[in-house]
């Protein structure tokens, strides 16, 4: 304290008599501290969680998000909603990051993790009112989370599957898709998601490379027209309308060099002062272009895919030489085509050789209704691991939401390949963990027992929200299921959101991957512990 200039600072004390410093030179500091700060954080987090709560479950409601540019997004995907929301409060931003971390790590369960974090913070408020110190609450939550995670391992079931028997994978994908906009044809979408993941999965390493799955879409048609292409779809067509629409047994030259004669460098220029000089230049360009065509044909290629464009003269010469070509293909598509066809990307015509060509059974153009739009489909590729999901829909919003839904479903299938254990959805796993934590808390004499019971009550928020969103009586439904689970010890009982007259989630095929549910519990608890440890908010404004 003695090193601070007394003329540049003011010493003050807060309501607890703790000293703090207000610096005068160029800064004004506002301060919120102690329990008041924690209450402020809890309020902000609860507000965000309550927005997402109504989107949970198969009968959850969608949100419409309007960007500053006027673009509209309709979705019930938690990660998308939070990502596009204009959130100003610091703690609310932490919930956005929580949802993103769940999305990055697992790909599904982004709404559930935020709802659980909001419920935990709501319980914190009641514990703080009873005078329990935030650190004791954090310790109790940590202990309860460990009990819940261990209990999840106990109640999990292992499901069997392989590339020929995929029924269980489809059931898990259908659970993920049940709450999405595509639910009217979710069996078809579940099959697409499973087939796409299995096509690129490395079953020995239990790994799925999502880079090999390309997601593309086109407005028009219905969602039932969505298809899985074992190959690549690119939003381009042949460079000349008279080029063939279909090429069988395609040998593809994949070029990143321009299909044009060499140009003078920008700092040089050519002065043509006579007809002879012009004819000489024209002959030189034709000679160079013929050389390029011959180099391509000598390699055995019957289709050219070029990253750069070429002018109409070059296009005409390609047509005359009966060499179909596609131009202006983007970098990511070029890489995917090279992977799918086992070809090499060639930067110079001199480097072309038969060994560097890509191979595909069929390359054809796809047309759409009465429009002139065309896309190129490369099928029966040498490398069968590269696939494209081609989504159709009535408008851009449906296509975008269908892509997000398929991504979530594919992540759920990927999680089962990594770890083929599942717990049961519909709130069944949360209710079972809640009962297990309450049983452990009864045998604890320290003050953490209150925090553990609060954690158990917070887990009930998920089945309560599912019941409420399904039009059921939340308290009555939860009480009945809890009583049934406690008396029968059946951890498969959950909320019957689809009115099938059965609370057994195993019979309804409502599965959640174990690693997804475990990650939800761990991430939500970590965030709540961090928020409980923040008791000072100091905002600095430059004058």
> Following DSSP, what letter does each residue of 161-221 receive, concatenated?
--SS--HHHHHHHHHHHTTSGGGGGHHHHHHHHHHHHHHHEETTTTEE-GGGEEEEEEEBS
Residues 494 and 503: beta-carbon distance below 8 Å? yes
Residue by residue, DSSP assigns 309-333 as ---HHHHHHHHHTT--EE----HHH
Instruction: Report the predicted TM-score, pTM, of the whole model to 2 decimal places.
Output: 0.79
CATH topology for 246-360?
Answer: GroEL (3.50.7)
pLDDT, residue 28, reads 41
Catalytic residue check, 110: yes
pLDDT in tens, 231-271: 888 888 888 888 888 899 989 999 988 777 666 655 667 77
* CA–CA distance, 520 with 110 (Å, rounded to integer): 8
Residues 338 and 357: beta-carbon distance below 8 Å? no
Catalytic residue check, 512: no
**Average pLDDT across the chain, whole number:** 84
* CA–CA distance, 496 with 490 (Å, rounded to integer): 15
| Local structure of 77: helix, strand or coil | coil
Catalytic residue check, 77: yes
Q: Picking from 19-23, 150-154, 159-163, 536-540, which range would have the lowest pLDDT averaged per residue?
A: 19-23
pLDDT, residue 192, reads 92
Query: What percent of the chain stands above pLDDT 90?
Result: 20
Going by C-alpha positions, the residue among 33, 36, 37 that lies closest to residue 13 is: 33
Question: Per-residue pLDDT for 6 more than 80?
Answer: no
Catalytic entry in 75, 111, 175, 525:
111
pLDDT in tens, 413-470: 888 888 888 899 888 999 999 999 999 998 888 888 999 999 999 999 999 999 998 8
| Local structure of 2: helix, strand or coil | coil
Catalytic entry in 408, 460, 496, 512:
408
For the chain, give every domain's residue range: 34-158+423-542, 246-360
Q: Is 34-158+423-542 CATH 1.10.10.60?
A: no
Catalytic entry in 77, 108, 237, 496:
77
* CA–CA distance, 288 with 462 (Å, rounded to integer): 69
pLDDT, residue 81, reads 87
* CA–CA distance, 336 with 342 (Å, rounded to integer): 10
Catalytic entry in 110, 166, 175, 525:
110
């Amino acid at each position: 304290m003695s090193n601070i200039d007394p003329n540049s600072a003011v010493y003050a004390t807060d309501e607890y008599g703790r000293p703090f410093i207000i610096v005068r030179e160029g800064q004004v500091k506002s301060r919120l501290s102690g329990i008041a700060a924690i209450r402020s954080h809890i309020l902000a987090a609860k507000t965000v969680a309550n927005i997402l709560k109504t989107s949970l479950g198969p009968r959850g409601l969608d949100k419409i998000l309007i960007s500053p540019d006027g673009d509209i997004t309709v979705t019930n995907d938690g990660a998308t909603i939070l990502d596009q929301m204009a959130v100003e409060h610091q703690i609310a931003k932490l919930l956005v990051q929580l949802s993103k971390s769940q999305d990055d790590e697992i790909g599904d369960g982004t709404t559930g993790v935020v709802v659980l974090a909001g419920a935990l913070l709501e319980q914190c408020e009641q514990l703080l009112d009873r005078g329990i110190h935030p650190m004791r609450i954090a310790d109790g939550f940590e202990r309860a989370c460990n009990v819940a995670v261990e209990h999840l391992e106990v109640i999990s079931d292992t499901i069997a599957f392989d590339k020929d028997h995929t029924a269980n994978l489809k059931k898990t994908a259908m659970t993920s898709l049940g709450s999405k906009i595509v639910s009217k044809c979710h069996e078809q979408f579940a099959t697409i998601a499973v087939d796409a993941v299995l096509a690129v999965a490395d079953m020995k390493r239990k790994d799925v490379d999502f880079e090999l799955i390309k997601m593309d879409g086109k407005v028009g048609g219905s969602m039932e027209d969505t298809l899985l292409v074992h190959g690549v779809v690119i939003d381009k067509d042949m460079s000349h309308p008279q080029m063939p629409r279909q090429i069988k047994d395609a040998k593809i030259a994949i070029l990143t060099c321009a299909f044009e004669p060499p140009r003078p460098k920008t700092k040089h220029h050519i002065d043509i002062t006579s007809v002879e000089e012009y004819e000489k230049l024209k002959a030189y360009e034709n000679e160079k272009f013929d050389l390029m065509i011959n180099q391509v044909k000598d390699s055995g290629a019957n289709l050219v895919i070029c990253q750069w464009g070429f002018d109409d003269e070059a296009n005409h010469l390609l047509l005359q030489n009966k060499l179909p070509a596609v131009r202006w293909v983007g970098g990511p598509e070029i890489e995917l085509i090279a992977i799918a066809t086992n070809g090499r990307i060639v930067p110079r015509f001199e480097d072309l050789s038969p060994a560097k060509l890509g191979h595909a059974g069929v390359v054809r153009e796809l047309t759409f209704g009465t429009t002139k739009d065309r896309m190129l489909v490369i099928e029966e590729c040498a490398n069968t691991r590269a696939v494209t999901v081609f989504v159709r829909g009535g408008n851009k919003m449906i296509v975008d939401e269908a892509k997000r839904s398929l991504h979530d479903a594919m992540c759920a299938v990927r999680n089962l390949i990594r770890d083929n254990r599942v717990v049961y959805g519909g709130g069944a796993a949360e209710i079972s963990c809640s009962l297990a934590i309450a049983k452990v808390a009864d045998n604890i004499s320290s003050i953490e027992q209150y925090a553990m019971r609060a954690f158990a009550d917070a887990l009930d928020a998920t089945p309560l929200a599912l019941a409420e969103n399904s039009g059921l009586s939340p308290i009555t439904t939860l009480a009945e299921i809890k009583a049934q689970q406690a008396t029968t010890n059946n951890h498969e009982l959950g909320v019957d959101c689809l009115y099938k007259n059965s609370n057994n989630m195993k019979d309804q095929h409502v599965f959640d991957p174990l690693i997804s549910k475990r990650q939800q519990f761990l991430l939500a608890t970590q965030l709540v512990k961090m928020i409980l440890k923040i008791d000072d908010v100091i905002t600095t404004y430059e004058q």
